[in-house]
Structure 1
Amino acid sequence: MVYEGDFAAANITAAKARIGTDAKVFPFPRVGAKAPVVTGGDVGVALKDGAAAQALLTFLASPDAASIWAHEGGFVSANRNLSPAAYPDDVQRSIAKALVAAGDDFRFDMSDQAPAAFGGKPGQGEWKDLQDFLRNPADVAGIQRRLEADAAKAFGD
C-alpha cells in the first residue's frame, strides 16, 4: 500500500498496471463522523505584477486550463466548473468528484504542512516512521515518540 497523489497514475501505467484494477483508490481513513478528503496542492504565483501575469494566472485557474491538464491524467482540479468528462478514466473522475464535494472536509496532507526534513524525504522523518509503523503496527507508542522527536528536530523545537 502506498499513500500517493493522483500524479502517481503515470508511474502505475508505466509499470504496465491498470488503474482501478491493479492499483485501486480508497478514501483516507476517517477519524470521527466523516472521512476528510486529504490532498496536496500547488499554487500559482506572479513574481512581477502586471496585466500579462494576471492574465496567465486567470487562465491557469480556469476550467479551460484545467481541462488540458486533466485530460492528460495525473492531475485533479478543484475547479467546480470543470466537466468530469475532462478526466481520462473513472478513477480520476471519482477523485475529482470527492475533491470538489469536500467542502469543510478538505485537508492538506501532513507532508505538505511540514518542513522537507520531516515530511518530504524518503528514508527519514515521518516518511520512514510511518513505513516502520506499517511494518510493525503493534508499536504505536514507539512510533509516536519517534514522530514527535523527528518533528521537533525538523521544526527546530
Structure 2
Amino acid sequence: SVTQTFTGGDQPKAGMVFEADFVGINIAETDAKIGTDAKVFPFPAVGSGQAPAVVGGDAAVALKDSKGAQALLTYLASPEAAAIWAKTGGFISPNKALDTGTYPNDVQRGIAEALIKAGDDIRYDMSDQMPQSFGGSPNKGEWKALQDFLAKPKDVAAIQQRLERDAAKAYKD
C-alpha cells in the first residue's frame, strides 16, 4: 500500500509505488512530506520522442438530456468546480483556466503543469484500459508480474511471457 512506503522508519515495506496523484491523500496520513520524502517522476519516453503524460481519468455523462444535466456538466467542466477539487489535493484538472496556485503543494502543481503542457499527448494508464482481473486486482495479473519484476529485474523474458499469458486469459474471461 502507499502508506507502507512511507512508514516503518528505515525498513518500509516498499521503496516505490506506481500510482496517481490521488495518493497524496494517503501520504498525508503518514509523517512523510510531499516533495521531500514523497517525490514523483514521469514515465520515460520511448525511443527519442518526448514522454507523454500518463493519466487516469473520470468522465461525467448525462444519461438524460435536460437543462439541469447540461448545467451540471457545464459546471463540472468549469475552473470553479476544478478549484474545489484541486485545493483538497488528490485531483489534477486538465482545465487550462484553473490557477495552478490552487493546488496544495508544489508536487501537484508540477503534475498539473505537465498535464496542461502535454496537450493531446497523453496516454491512459495501462490498468485503466484492461479487464480488472488483469490490471486492477492486487497481487494478481499485471500488478503481481510487475512486483515480481521489481524484485527480480533480470528476468525480463519470464515476466513478459507471464504478462502475455495472464492478459490473454483476462481478455477471454
* TM norm. shorter chain > 0.5: yes
- 2:54 is paired with a residue whose SS is strand
Corresponding position: 1:84 with 2:100: yes
Tell me the number of residue pairs that the alignment of Structure 1 and Structure 2 aligns: 157
Corresponding position of 1:40: 56
- 2:139 is paired with a residue whose SS is coil
State, as a whole percentage, how many aligned pairs show the same letter: 65
Aligned partners of 2:137 and 2:104: how far apart in 1? 30
What is the RMSD computed on CA atoms of the aligned residues?
Answer: 1.1
The Cα of 1:36 is off from its aligned counterpart by: 1.4
Corresponding position: 1:129 with 2:145: yes
Aligned partners of 1:3 and 1:36: how far apart in 2? 16
What are the superposed Cα offsets for residues 87-142 of structure 1, whole Å, 9 maximum, x if unpaired? Answer: 11111100000001112421101001101011111010101111110011111000
> Higher relative contact order at CA 8 Å, sep ≥6: structure 1 or structure 2?
1
Structure 1 residues not aligned, in runs of 5+: none
Aligned partners of 1:87 and 1:126: how far apart in 2? 31
- Aligned to 1:53, which of 69, 88, 103? 69
Aligned partner letter, 2:126 = M
Matching of residues 5-154 of structure 1 within 5 Å: 5-32=20-47, 33-154=49-170
Structure 2 residues not aligned, in runs of 5+: 1-15
Aligned partners of 1:61 and 1:104: how far apart in 2? 17
Q: TM-score, normalised by structure 1?
A: 0.97
Aligned partners of 1:12 and 1:134: how far apart in 2? 22
Aligned partner letter, 1:101 = K
The Cα of 1:31 is off from its aligned counterpart by: 1.1
Higher helix share: 1
Aligned partners of 1:115 and 1:50: how far apart in 2? 33
Aligned partners of 1:149 and 1:86: how far apart in 2? 44
Corresponding position of 2:18: 3
Q: TM-score, normalised by structure 2?
A: 0.88
- 1:38 is paired with a residue whose SS is strand
